[in-house]
Amino acid sequence: MSDLESFRLETRDWLEENCPKSMRTPYESDDDICWGGRNAKFTSDEQRLWLQRMASRGWTVPTWPAEYGGGGLDREHAKVLADELSRIHARPALMSFGISMLGPALLKFGTEALRQQHIPPIVRGEIRWAQGYSEPNAGSDLASLQTRADDHGDHYKVNGSKIWTSYGDKGDWMFCLVRTDSEARKHEGISFVLFDMATPGVSTKPILLISGASPFTETFFDDVRVEKDQVVGEVNKGWTVAKYLLTHEREMIGESGVSEAGSASISEIAVRKMGLNNGVLKNTMLRSDIAKLEIDEIALDLTIQRARDEVKAGASLGAQSSMFKYFGTELNMRRYELLMAIGGLDALDWDGGENADGLLPKSWLRTKGNSIEGGTSEIQLNIIAKRILGLPG
């Protein structure tokens, strides 16, 4: 038996024994997502147990090095694990920005001490990270950020504010872009720093969205002390780290639409809600938009698969992540427009009614931010035009 096959069997047995039954069902609401953190609220003991067991093997981050608590798996073994998890419909044991964003940047740019300090708690879901990037006057033009870190000998004092901090009020630590040299050109005076959000001087204020939820905050810094050993990469070279991390963020955002596509076929929903006429969906105009969407969803899935295969064969993804971010988010928005049309009058209910407390219209409104956050669609098109097509500008 090959090594991979025995790993598969061993993994299957382990999951059978260790993945609680309630963790093998689809999420019922966003509350079922396990984000971890100091103030983690587990919806059940089984959710907590699932996280602990997966973390004990480093399988919350299967490909990270074992020396920092990761799973230490190569791509082939990680693929086997992913297959086995999806075979039993297991929920992700842990979601976090530490995993999807900070971790890869720390592994690439962080000192040994920083890795030892921060990566194991990410693996175990003990610290929940928040991202401090955008500012009120630095959106698409992120590098014009003004939050200042002034040199006070052995530490910095940070002053300024951030906006669009995802779950800023739930974060334990923040990775943050600050200006450490106000004389330098805008890309060259930025540093990438880490600090505990419980530090005096940090405060957050939730932002109410059109969806009725507040997944983002404004975050304010008033003389916040940041130790100098908490700079990732070189001082004033934070933009390099930031860009590397944005690439990861774009891949994640671009792919989120796809995983959702896998969960429910929109044509099945349409057939259930609207009915068929001689085997054909009653509204034939809507039907053709649905067919186009379903074809594009499959096409995007295949393209992600192809990109992975190319990376495996030695290519680098680079600016292609902008393509996935652009198309993935636009596709998800198209999907929700169609779901609203299919939902018809039921989809108008915000409170009570047929519609599970307005989940659909709230989600639909939330998708309007997909083509804005993480770099707008227009910014992604700029990147594709310049970096892939080589157009001037």
Beta carbon of residue 274, minimum distance to other proteins (angstroms, whole number) = 9
| Per-residue DSSP letter, 138 | B
C-alpha count within 13 angstroms, C-beta hemisphere, residue 382: 8
Q: Is residue 221 within 8 Å of 159, Cβ to Cβ?
A: yes
- Residue closer to other proteins by CB (options 16, 310) is 310
Beta carbon of residue 315, minimum distance to other proteins (angstroms, whole number) = 8
- Residue closer to other proteins by CB (options 174, 300) is 300
Q: How far apart are CA 196 and CA 207, in angstroms?
A: 21
* Token representation of residue 311: 């990376």
Q: How far apart are CA 14 and CA 16, in angstroms?
A: 5
Beta carbon of residue 291, minimum distance to other proteins (angstroms, whole number) = 4
Residue type for position 371: S
CA separation, residue 65 to residues 58, 68, 120, 198, 347 (Å): 9, 6, 10, 29, 46
Beta carbon of residue 299, minimum distance to other proteins (angstroms, whole number) = 4
Displacement of CA 204 from its chain's centroid (Å): 21
Beta carbon of residue 196, minimum distance to other proteins (angstroms, whole number) = 41
- Residue closer to other proteins by CB (options 170, 335) is 335
Q: Is residue 197 within 8 Å of 167, Cβ to Cβ?
A: no
Q: How many beta carbons lie within 10 A of that of residue 30, not counting itself?
A: 10
- Residue closer to other proteins by CB (options 194, 300) is 300
- Residue closer to other proteins by CB (options 352, 392) is 392
Beta carbon of residue 192, minimum distance to other proteins (angstroms, whole number) = 28
**Binding-site ranges for other proteins (CB under 8 A):** 267, 270-271, 276, 279-281, 287-288, 290-292, 294-296, 298-300, 302-303, 305-306, 309-310, 312-313, 320, 323, 326-327, 378, 380-382, 384-386, 388-393
Q: Is residue 383 within 8 Å of 319, Cβ to Cβ?
A: yes
Beta carbon of residue 306, minimum distance to other proteins (angstroms, whole number) = 4
- Residue closer to other proteins by CB (options 200, 314) is 314
Residue with tokens 């024994």: 17
Residue 132: its H or E element: strand 129-132
- Residue closer to other proteins by CB (options 108, 292) is 292
- 210: left (phi > 0), else alpha (psi -120 to 50), else beta? alpha
